[in-house]
Structures are given as structure tokens and as C-alpha cells.
């Protein structure tokens, strides 16, 4: 059973470009979480999605950031018009469906560098 | 609102010595508590977790942690440090069902030969 997959692992963008980060959850998992780790800091929650639904986006910046988790395909975190402050490691985690609390399994992360 | 405090952003121990990484949390409901380890340029790996039941939790690589409700703590220990334990360690809390994890700022563990 493959783990959580993220691609690309490293992404370099110039200021003003768009960044698209992809996350494929573990097989059978329908919950996806995105976290951001700024240099020398811990992980901060961004958004929680289930298939075709955003459940909690209270950690998302108000502008330029969006996320989706379509019925088919990976979850996408999109950052428009990137700025240097967006440089960070972005981690995706997934968990299985169900009402109870479940462990979140983390992907290897995408390290975004904005020049 | 939940929060996690890790005392000491850097901890240095000698190989073979006791490892103690501190974590205190605040939560309005019984929390689920986690310790993750992150090696350089890698993702997070779960070391151990507390959900319900026994308050002393054993994890991988010889680590264990004890949930102390009265002290709102979940400190991570290992009796004898190994060089391969050098990494960053994060404590996290999940407060409600299917919700986000709130992480501490992390503790960088250095193991000296």
C-alpha cells in the first residue's frame, strides 16, 4: 500500500508565477489536510478537504491560495502570484473515512522556493 | 482553542544518555496526542500516539511518552540516545473528530558521540 504521494518534491518559481502542488492520498483515504512549514518553524494547518468538499479552510491565507480535492485525481494546492514569503515546505496528510478520529499519514512534502 | 508548547527548541545529549523532550498542551476536550519525527528534508513520521486507555505509550525506535492529564503534559523519553535519533521532533494535538493537528514549534535533538 503506497503512502501519501506528493509532487513535485521541489518546485522553484519566480515572483508572480503560479505554483501547483499535488497530493495523492493513501488508497482508501478520503480526507486530505494541507500544512505549511516555514523555515525554522513548526507545521501550521492550512485546509482540510474531503472529496469535492472543503471542510475547514480557516488556516488558508485570504488571497492567492486555493485548494481542491476532486472526485477523481489528486488534491491540488494552488498558489497564485507567488511571493518570496511563500517559500516553505508544504505537507499533505491523509486519513481514512469515518466518524472517529484517525491518524493522519504525511507525505514527503513539496519544498517551494520563490526567487 | 488548542495549543502545544515544546520547551526547548534545541536539546543536546550524549550518545547513551537519557532523552527527554517536553510537551505541554492546552485543550478544552480530551485530546489525542502525537509525537512525530522529521529527518532533514523529509516528511513526518509518527513515533507514537495517545488516544485513550493506558497513559504510558510505547512507540517506535525505543521511544515512549506518558500522558499526564493533571500536568497537561505528554513528554517524550528514550532511555539511551543513539546517533540516529538526531532529528527534529514535533508534538501535536488533535482536539476533535477528524480535525486539524496543532503542532508545537519543534525540538531539534542533537546526539553527541
B62 backbone φψ class: left, alpha, beta (φ>0; ψ -120 to 50): left
- What pLDDT is stored for residue B98 in this prediction? 61
End-to-end Cα distance, chain A: 37
Convert the pLDDT of each residue in B27-53 to its tens digit: 777 788 999 999 987 889 999 999 888
Dump the DSSP string for A38-106. Answer: -TTS-EEEEEEEETTEEEE-TTS-SSSEEEE--SSS-EEEEE-S--GGG-EEEEEEEE-SSSS--PPEE
Q: Out of B51, B100, B103, whose CB is closest to A42?
A: B103
Q: Out of A59, A99, A101, whose CB is closest to B32?
A: A101
A40-44, A89-93, B61-65, B78-82: segment of lowest average pLDDT: A40-44
Which residue numbers of B have CB closer than 8 Å to A's CBs?
A: 32, 34, 36, 41-46, 49, 51, 90, 92, 94, 96-106
Task: Give the confidence band of B25 by pLDDT, cuts at 50, 70, 90.
Answer: very high
Which residue, among B59, B75, B65, B78, has the nearest Cα to B13 in the 3D structure?
A: B78
**Whether pLDDT at B2 is above 90:** no
CA A32 vs CA A22, A27, B8, B54: distances in Å: 11, 12, 31, 29
- Residue B3 C-alpha cell reads as 495549543
Size (chain B), residues: 113
Q: Out of A41, A42, A108, whose CB is closest to B43?
A: A108
**Whether pLDDT at B95 is above 80:** no
B90: Cβ contacts below 8 Å, ≥ 6 apart: A42, A43, B6, B35, B36, B37, B38, B44, B103, B104, B106, B107
- What pLDDT is stored for residue B86 in this prediction? 96
- What pLDDT is stored for residue B105 in this prediction? 92
Mean model confidence pLDDT for chain B? 91
The three-class DSSP label of residue B71 is helix
- What pLDDT is stored for residue A108 in this prediction? 92
Ranges of chain A with pLDDT below 70? 1, 99-101
- Residue B26 C-alpha cell reads as 492546552
Convert the pLDDT of each residue in A83-101 to its tens digit: 999 999 999 999 888 756 6
- Residue B38 C-alpha cell reads as 522529521
Q: If you average pLDDT over residues B60-89, what whole number do you get? A: 95
Q: If you average pLDDT over residues B2-19, what whole number do you get? A: 94
Amino acid at each position: 500500500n503506497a503512502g501519501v504521494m506528493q509532487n513535485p518534491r521541489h518546485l522553484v518559481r519566480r515572483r508572480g508565477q503560479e505554483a501547483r502542488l499535488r497530493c495523492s492520498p493513501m488508497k482508501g483515504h478520503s480526507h486530505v489536510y494541507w500544512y505549511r512549514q516555514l523555515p525554522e518553524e513548526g507545521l501550521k494547518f492550512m485546509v482540510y478537504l474531503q472529496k469535492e468538499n472543503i471542510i475547514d479552510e480557516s488556516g488558508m491565507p485570504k488571497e492567492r491560495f486555493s485548494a481542491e480535492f476532486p472526485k477523481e485525481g489528486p488534491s491540488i494546492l494552488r498558489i497564485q502570484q507567488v511571493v518570496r514569503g511563500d517559500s516553505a515546505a508544504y505537507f499533505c496528510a491523509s486519513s481514512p473515512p469515518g466518524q472517529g478520529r484517525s491518524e493522519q499519514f504525511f507525505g514527503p512534502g513539496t519544498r517551494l522556493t520563490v526567487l | 482553542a488548542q495549543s502545544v508548547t515544546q520547551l526547548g527548541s534545541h536539546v543536546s545529549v550524549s550518545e547513551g544518555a537519557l532523552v527527554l523532550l517536553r510537551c505541554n498542551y492546552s485543550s478544552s476536550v480530551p485530546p489525542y496526542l502525537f509525537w512525530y519525527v522529521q529527518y532533514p528534508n523529509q516528511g513526518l513520521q509518527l513515533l507514537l500516539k495517545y488516544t485513550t486507555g493506558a497513559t504510558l505509550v510505547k512507540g517506535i525506535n525505543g521511544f515512549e511518552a506518558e500522558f499526564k492529564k493533571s500536568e497537561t503534559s505528554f513528554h517524550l523519553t528514550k532511555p539511551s540516545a543513539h546517533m540516529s535519533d538526531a532529528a527534529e521532533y514535533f508534538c501535536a494535538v488533535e482536539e476533535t473528530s477528524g480535525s486539524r493537528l496543532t503542532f508545537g514549534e519543534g525540538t531539534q535533538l542533537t546526539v553527541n558521540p
